[in-house]
A = this chain, B = another copy of it.
Amino acid sequence: MSLNIKIVLVEPLYQGNVGSVTRVMKNFGFSDIVLVNPCKLEGEARAMSSHAHDVLESARITSSLAEAVENASIVIGTTGITGLKHDEHTRMPYYTPRELKKKLTGMSGTVAILFGREDQGFNNNELGSCDMILTIPTSDVYQIMNLSHAAGIVLYELSDIKAGDKPLARGFDLRLLYEHMGELLEDIDYPVHKKDKTMLMFKRIFGRAELIPREVQTLRGVIRRIRRKIKGDTFYQPDDQ
């Protein structure tokens, strides 16, 4: 078992940054990179990647974030602290690189770490698809880091992480759990205007908790039984899916 760290750049605007990210990835022993709708990658990307052009050339390019993270157990969005403070309701959990390292120690599975656009970061949909938020503690005076510098610091922290055999929940099961929770909210006539925020809250909570597969299975079982009870179907059914 091992821990695979996948770097995902969401619509990067400057090819120099893409090249610099691949260089610092190779400096710290990482090579799995996905680019979602990137800018053109030409000479400057290659120049900045320096001796990491193999990493640059191996980058997978996708047209959607969903496709980029489809095999990840945990999706982590990297962002400045700015803006998070204003969204108390969803209680965005944010972690420093050191805290993330501690959380992932002993784990196995695939972790996708997302970096947003240089100018606009992530949109709300993209943030909503994250299980955790990662923030590098910066000076209040100037919080916005260059994309490749932010990636460098995250990778520096994670470069000597001790993986283990505690599996992170597989993304597929986790997504089914969320779908079923969404359906449960509909079953109980949960107010439509609150549903998205509440679902986001669930994702945050389970993201923080780093569920293992057995826990995901058990939660899904509980939700199935609740939904059956609500529908008046009290007759025993085999506990399958």
Contacts and interface: CB of A to CB of B under 8 A. Distances in A.
A159 B144 contact: no
Contacts of A152: 145, 149, 152-153
Contacts of A23: 142, 145-146, 149
A51 interface: yes
A141 interface: yes
A26 B159 contact: no
Interface stretch (A103-111, A132-140, A183-191): A132-140
Contacts of A143: 27
B146 A20 contact: yes
A24 B145 CA distance: 7
Interface string A127-170: 00000000011110111111011001100100110000000000
Most buried by B among A138, A142, A144: A142
Most buried by B among A23, A27, A144, A145: A27
A50 interface: yes
Contacts of A153: 152-153, 156
Given A23-B145, A27-B142, A27-B145, 6 more contacts: A20-B146, A23-B149, A27-B138, A28-B138, A29-B139, A48-B146
Those 6 A-B pairs whose CB atoms lie nearest each other, nearest first: A29-B139, A26-B142, A149-B152, A27-B138, A153-B156, A27-B145
